[in-house]
Amino acid sequence: MTYIEESLSKDEKIHEIFNLHWFAKIPMVIWIILAILALGFILIGDSATSIGFLALPACGIAVLLAIWEWLKLKSLEQGVTNKRVIRKTGFISRKTDEMKITSIETVEINQGIWGRIFGYGNVKITGRGISDVVFVKIDNPLKVKKSIESVDPL
């Protein structure tokens, strides 16, 4: 069961869960590729050379960093219910950013050139005062904006 499902209050229903764009997975993929390259140097290299000597720690570090990136992606939850907008991060520890739907003042989209081409961007939800919730590298930010603005609070 996800954090969003666990934290629902009475009469609260999930309106939509937002997914990350595949661009958010690029750092993890890069670390996996580097680990495979280092493993290749280990298998074909001579352990007496400096490349073979450095390949084993490089492979281990790349694998650990790939696992770290994967855990960050798996522990991220973003969504909107009929009462609030929620963003949760953290695997062992937990950090949540939440805002009531009735407190939302603006929903802004920030997309660079690559975001426009590939369909990802950041969505910033600003509320009363100085609070805000930011969904980073979200898939289809215009759909996310429309989904948040179309929620009918009870």
Please report, for the chain, the start and end positions of each structural domain, with discontinuous segments joined by +.
3-20+77-149, 25-72
Task: Please tell me the predicted confidence (pLDDT) of residue 129.
Answer: 79
Q: Under CATH, which number does the domain 3-20+77-149 receive?
A: 2.30.29
Residue 107's alpha-carbon distances to 24, 26, 70, 103, 144, in angstroms, are 21, 27, 28, 11, 9
HSE, side-chain direction, 13 A CA sphere, residue 90: 9
pTM of the predicted model as reported, rounded to 2 decimal places: 0.82
pLDDT band at 22 (very low <50, low <70, confident <90, very high): very high
Q: For 103-123, what is the mean pLDDT?
A: 94
Task: Please tell me the predicted confidence (pLDDT) of residue 40.
Answer: 84
Task: Please tell me the predicted confidence (pLDDT) of residue 154.
Answer: 62
